Amino acid sequence: MDERNLVSINKNKEPEIDTYGYYIKLLESFPPLERDVLKLRLGLGEPFEVLHTTDEIAEILNESKEIIEKNLSTGLKRMRDNSEKERLKQENEDAYFEIRLQINNRLIKKLHLLKEEWKLDNISQVTERIMLAFFKYDLE
């Protein structure tokens, strides 16, 4: 078996956390005023893609500009923190799957080498021989 047959994971892929659906779902856990301010500021509410200024949001929500700015600031920080946490989680999962894949590739490579060395017809025979050797004393 040569290196061309080994599977690789794209290590440099971008985490898929910058989607509209992700942000809408994320905002569900935010305090109501903070959520409403962010939806209006980022264009995530109805109608979609309409971005509002701080003054417009204060008027729409009938709150002071200071309260809107405070909620906007804390909401954006909360979104950044959550997005960073999700990005790290995805990187850790990717690293875990990359390691598992490398181990599986090495195992497959070793099984193919044993198949050739033992002059067997297929990998199943190699696996069977290994299992029998491993459980030899348990089967007696």
- Please determine, for residue 8, whether its predicted confidence score (pLDDT) is greater than 60: no
Q: Is the pLDDT of residue 69 over 60?
A: yes
With a cut of 70, say whether residue 78 has pLDDT above it: yes
Q: How far apart (Å, rounded) are the C-alpha atoms in residues 98 and 91?
A: 10
Concatenate the DSSP letters of all residues of 119-137 into one string.
Answer: T-SSHHHHHHHHHHHHTTT
What tens digit of pLDDT does each residue of 19-55 get?
778 888 889 999 999 999 999 999 886 666 788 999 9
Q: What is the pLDDT of residue 16?
A: 52
The per-residue pLDDT for 41 is 93
Which DSSP string do the residues of 25-61 spell out, in sequence order? HHHTTS-HHHHHHHHHHHT-SSSTT----HHHHHHHH
Domain ranges of the chain: 15-134
